[in-house]
Structures are given as structure tokens and as C-alpha cells.
Structure 1
Amino acid sequence: MTEITDFLLTNLLNHGALVLGSTLFLAALGVPLPASMLVVATGAFSQQGVMSLQTAAGVAVVSAVAGDGCSYLLGRLAGERFTSRWKGSKAWRSADRQFERWGTWSIFLSRFLFTPFALPVNLMAGSTLFPWPRFLVAVVMGEVIWVTMFGGLGLLFADSWEALSQMASDLSGFLVGALLLGVGIYALTRRR
């Protein structure tokens, strides 16, 4: 494991919810921290009686949603400044229409299935003025599934949570790669 992971795990054991919440909040803002691994570890530690399951789950969901909300707000505030030169273009209008159509699903699925896309999706939602209530509902539902899935895996496989965490990370990378390949193939066939 890396030094940052060891540091976070040690502090998770010592400080519990504070470390879990701050790590998930910062990860939702784009800081490269092992958030999924920490949720799996939290489930395992809860199974072993080191942490309260209800407290950990509540802190995890609230912190992740708060971080997502802040990155949405960042997209909303900075979006106009950075997108003003592209807003009138045909490509921007097309992307805006597509996000309006598929944005809720993009937000929802990027919380637990395609997690590397969560921050760009949040920024896109904010910059395109995607409705806050729809954003919030999709984020809360997706984060609850993420915490339940990964924390549940930690609960079920408390003795081998480290190997499981690595497999979950590898699966996420594979799914993102498969999605990008599919989009690339679709774009090529569309172009022809």
C-alpha cells in the first residue's frame, strides 16, 4: 500500500468518522484519495467492532454529497467564465442538449459505477445550469448505493477487505475503459 493509504487507514482507526468524512469530501472535490478503499475498510472495521456502522454510513453519505454539491457549485460559479467562448458553438449546444437529456443518469451512474467521471460530471452539471434539485436527488441516490455497495463488501469480507478493495478499484478502471472504448467506437461509426 502507498504511504497515503497507510496514513489514512491508521487515522481512520484512530479518529474514525472525522477522517472518513474529510477524506470523502476532499475526494468528491477531485483530490486523488482512495475513497472507495476507505469505504471498504470502514465496512470491515465496522464488522470487527472498531467503528459504528450507522455513524460511518451516515458520515460517508453526507460527506460525499457535500463534496459533490461543492464541485457542482464550483462548476456553476466558474462555468460561465470558462465556457463563455464555446457557449454559442454548435458543439456546445449539442453537448448541452445531451447533458440535459442524459444528465440525471450520468450523475447517478458516476457516483458508484463510473466513479472517475464524477468530478467532470459535477462540473458539467454546474456549468450547464443543470437543475439543482435533480442533481441532488441523483447524487444522494448514487452515493447511498456506493456506500452500501462498498461498505457492504467490507462488512461481508472483513477478513480480506484489502484484496477486495483492489479488485473493486480494478473493476472500476475496467468499466471506465470499456465505456471509453464504446464511446470511441460509436463516434467512429457515427462519423462514417
Structure 2
Amino acid sequence: MTDWLFALVSEWGAIALGLVTFLSCLALPVPSSLMMLTAGAFAASGDLELATLALAALGGAVLGDQMGYQLGRVGLGAIEGWLSQSEARAAVLLRARASIHARGGMAVFLSRWLFSPLGPYVNFLAGGSRMAWLVFTLSSIAGELVWVGVYVGLGYAAGGQLAQVASLLGNVTGLATSLLLTIGLGVALWRRRRAQAAAE
């Protein structure tokens, strides 16, 4: 897969990067983070322009977030039905909903980079729950700036050690998301137990 990514980034550069970050924000399984690392490595070698790559990745991500938000506003029910067909996606959707209601704009910001697997679902739910567009947009842009900056910047800094950096970032993101899900489930169980105790 790494050779294919290198070829794609080398041949299509910023266009491919913008398209992939756009698609990733709509819950499509594309290797956006790995492509940003790869693009950063190409920029370090002088083959591609760093600023152009970063702007393309940021533009694609922000447009993808906006599309997800608008899809949520128009048809959250249909999207939820599709997402809930998979148990894994249904669980992530549940966490994303809880995060949106509890934290609003901060949930959008953190789901762009720290809890990135939740990001597309947060987009849909933010639109569906009628979160203020300006709050969503500003939080989205701020979070995407961090995401793009970290991944393209690390790719640029890593150069030849791209595989090791990609593995490390994947582990950190997976751990952060797992911790968030565990904490969320713990809080939900605690609230349920409290409600049952109050009812008795």
C-alpha cells in the first residue's frame, strides 16, 4: 500500500491530497493521514511544494466537514440508518452524539485530530442537531489546522522514517479514541445506575 500511496502523491500531488482529505471527512475509508505524511516527505525532498500540499489538505478537509454538516442538516435520519447497519459504526455514532451534546464546538475541534475516527460522525450529527454553523465552521477549521499541521509537518520532518512515524501516530490515535469510548461508556453506565437508584 505504501508504494501505491507514494505513486499517487508523486503523480497527482495536491489534487490527490485534497480529494482524499475531503473523502475522509465523509466517513469513507481512505488513508488520509498516511497520505499527508507521504506528501510531507515528498515536500522535504523538494519534489513537491509544502505550502501547496498543506493548503490542499486543509481545503479538502474543511470542504468535507462542510459537506458532512450539510448532509446531516438535510437527512440525518437516512444517514443514521446507513451508519447503524454496522455495529462498530453504530457505537462510534453513539459516542459522537454524546460528545456533540456534551461539548459542542470543543467536540468538533477535538474530533478533527485527537479523536479523528469520530470526526465524520460528528460532522453529520452537528448538522442534524442544528449546531450553529459559525461555531461548527470555526471549530472545524481550527481542528483541521492542527490535523494537517501535525501530519504534513511530521512527514516533512520524518523524511525517510515515514513508516515508523505512521505506525506511532496510528497507535496514539487508536489509544486516544479507545480511552474516549471507555470513559464515555463508563459515564453512561454511571448515569444509568444513578437514575435507577433514584427511581427505587
RMSD, aligned α-carbons: 2.0
- Which 5+ residue runs of structure 1 have no aligned equivalent? 84-94
In the alignment, the residues of structure 2 paired with residue 81 and residue 113 of structure 1 have an alpha-carbon distance, to the nearest angstrom, of 28
1:46 pairs, out of 43, 47, 51, with 43
- Which 5+ residue runs of structure 2 have no aligned equivalent? 81-95, 194-200
Shift of 1:15: 1.4
2:64 pairs, out of 61, 64, 67, with 67
Q: Please state whether the residue corresponding to 2:173 is helix, strand or coil.
A: helix
Shift of 1:171: 1.2
Q: What percentage of aligned pairs have identical amino acids?
A: 33
Report the TM-score when normalising by structure 1.
Answer: 0.86
Q: Please state whether the residue corresponding to 2:47 is helix, strand or coil.
A: coil
In the alignment, the residues of structure 2 paired with residue 53 and residue 127 of structure 1 have an alpha-carbon distance, to the nearest angstrom, of 36
Q: Please state whether the residue corresponding to 1:157 is helix, strand or coil.
A: helix
Shift of 1:97: 9.6
Shift of 1:96: 8.2
In the alignment, the residues of structure 1 paired with residue 30 and residue 73 of structure 2 have an alpha-carbon distance, to the nearest angstrom, of 24
Change (3 A) 1:162 1:77: same
Shift of 1:81: 6.3
2:16 pairs, out of 15, 19, 31, with 19
Contact 1:41 1:162 in 2 (8 A): no
Runs of 4+ aligned structure 1 residues displaced above 4 Å come to 80-83, 95-98
Q: Once structures 1 and 2 are overlaid, which stretch shifts more, 161-170 or 134-143?
A: 161-170
- Structure 1 counterpart of 2:108: 107
The superposition leaves residues 9-39 of structure 1 with CA deviations (integer Å, 9 ceiling, x where unpaired) of 3111011111111111111111101111111
Change (3 A) 1:185 1:158: same
Report the TM-score when normalising by structure 2.
Answer: 0.82
Q: Which amino acid aligns with 2:128?
A: S
The superposition leaves residues 103-129 of structure 1 with CA deviations (integer Å, 9 ceiling, x where unpaired) of 101100000000000011001000011
Q: Which amino acid aligns with 1:152?
A: G
Shift of 1:8: 3.2
In the alignment, the residues of structure 1 paired with residue 70 and residue 162 of structure 2 have an alpha-carbon distance, to the nearest angstrom, of 34
